[in-house]
Amino acid sequence: MAARSTVDRVTMTALLLPQCLAVAGILYTLAATILAGRWKSGPIPPENGPPVTILKPLHGAEPLLAENLRSFVEQDYRGAVEIVCGVHDPADPAAAVARAIDGPVRVRADRARHGSNGKISNLINMMSDASGDIIILSDSDIAVPPDYISRIVATIAPAGTIATCLYAGRGDAGAWSRIAAAGISWQFLPSVIVGLATGRARPCMGSTIAMRRETLDRIGGFAPFADVLADDHAIGAAAHAAGCEVAIPRLIVTHGCAETSLAALARHELRWNATIRGLDPWGYAGSIVTHPLPLALLGLNLWLVAAALAARLALALRIDRLAGRRTAPIALLPLRDILSFILFLGAFAVRSIDWRGGRFRLGKDGRMSADTEYLT
């Protein structure tokens, strides 16, 4: 009888913990839905602005690359704009795509490497072609609305301010890319909105990092981040350490997803999750509450499952309205949530990552080095 009582207590505890976490997750999801509904943009007064250089590090001809680049050309901005696209290999097909864009677009092809982070090496090389007073760097898979530059410039008008942008997902390469986009829109974006509202998040994201040239000089340029995997986070941290403020304009840009298989999606998200875990272990562990539906399923409580599903559906629909489009078929939400939870747990076992054809070992400070076990 004593053994059976112990088993019953263990079973009850095993069910009670995910149930409690599911309740916390449902409350979090409702809060995220309310906060997302308040993320609205106001008008930007039209005025002449300083010269702007947009840096675009490229690697391969991604789906919709031309459309993404063109969105940076077609801007309602009263000022000079130049776009510098950088590649390491002159034969990179992305270079031909960039050269075909009708607008102030230049391509810098430079094989020089300055560290293990190829993107940062690219940016260092591109800076010799940058002439603008405002420097905006943005990943190649980002598309923006016509008022993007105007809002960015208005945001960094105060001295020592840099800007970054929230983003929603868009599937550019079929079904798996849409599932990947759903993870960004329905999981990642709400967590950042809640983090901003609570003061827990201090994001700086590759979707946009914009600053005045003197601010970039203050943090030492791009060279200090040449061996950092989470370079966007590190740039934000360096800006804060230098007394700068990281501000977020009220707009949502678009991140194009190109995953064509479950394996590609898992590799990408495990790398992403492992990076976040390495930078903020306790914060990452606490983000378990952003997964209420899988937790409710683990708790074997049908009422909680129904409540979690309803809350998650409401949040996904709210985010899609905010983004101005349907990210993925809403029927995929339960599958996407379960997959997100599996990859969340999987990141605790990741010690090295695949990135752009190489394998790197993650350090506790966010730096990366070649994985010697893999190389040998």
Q: Which domain holds residue 321?
A: 25-39+265-357
Question: Are 335 and 253 in a shared domain?
Answer: no
CB proximity list for 171: less than 8 A, separation 6 or greater: 177, 178, 179, 180, 181, 257, 327, 328
Does 282 fall in a domain? yes
% residues pLDDT > 70 (the chain) = 89
pLDDT tier at 84, thresholds 50, 70, 90:
very high
Question: Are 74 and 148 in a shared domain?
Answer: yes
Question: Are 280 and 215 in a shared domain?
Answer: no
Total length of the chain: 376
Q: pLDDT digit string (tens) for 29-58?
A: 999 999 999 887 777 766 778 999 999 999
Q: pLDDT digit string (tens) for 99-137?
A: 999 999 999 998 888 888 889 999 999 999 999 999 999
Question: Are 173 and 278 in a shared domain?
Answer: no
The pLDDT value given to residue 373:
42
CB 269 within 8 A of CB 263: no
CATH code assigned at 156: 3.90.550.10
Answer with the residue of higher pLDDT: 251 or 1.
Answer: 251
How far apart CA 352 and CA 355 sit, in angstroms, is 10
Alpha helices in 280-332 (DSSP H): 281-286, 292-298, 302-323
Last residue of a domain, one of 213, 243, 262: 262
| pTM for the full predicted model | 0.87
Rounded alpha-carbon distances, angstroms, from residue 144 to 85, 164, 185: 16, 13, 16
Question: Are 152 and 251 in a shared domain?
Answer: yes
Mean pLDDT of the chain: 88
- With 50 as the cut, is the pLDDT of residue 374 above it? no
Last residue of a domain, one of 245, 262, 279: 262
* SS3 state at 105: strand
The pLDDT value given to residue 169:
96
Consecutive H or E run containing 358: strand 358-362
**Using only C-alpha atoms, what is the Rg of the chain?**
22
Q: Which range among 91-105, 256-270, 334-348, 354-368 shows the weakest confidence by mean pLDDT?
A: 354-368
Does 203 fall in a domain? yes
Q: pLDDT digit string (tens) for 179-198?
A: 999 999 999 999 999 999 98
Does 373 fall in a domain? no
> Taking the mean position of all CA atoms in its chain, how far away is CA 258?
14
Alpha helices in the chain (DSSP H): 2-37, 65-73, 93-99, 118-126, 148-155, 175-183, 189-198, 213-218, 231-241, 262-279, 281-286, 292-298, 302-323, 333-346, 372-375
pLDDT tier at 330, thresholds 50, 70, 90:
very high
Q: pLDDT digit string (tens) for 278-305?
A: 888 898 999 999 999 999 999 999 999 9
Does 121 fall in a domain? yes
Does 346 fall in a domain? yes
Last residue of a domain, one of 262, 291, 312: 262
Question: Are 78 and 129 in a shared domain?
Answer: yes
Does 18 fall in a domain? no
Question: Are 234 and 289 in a shared domain?
Answer: no
Tally of structural domains, the chain: 2
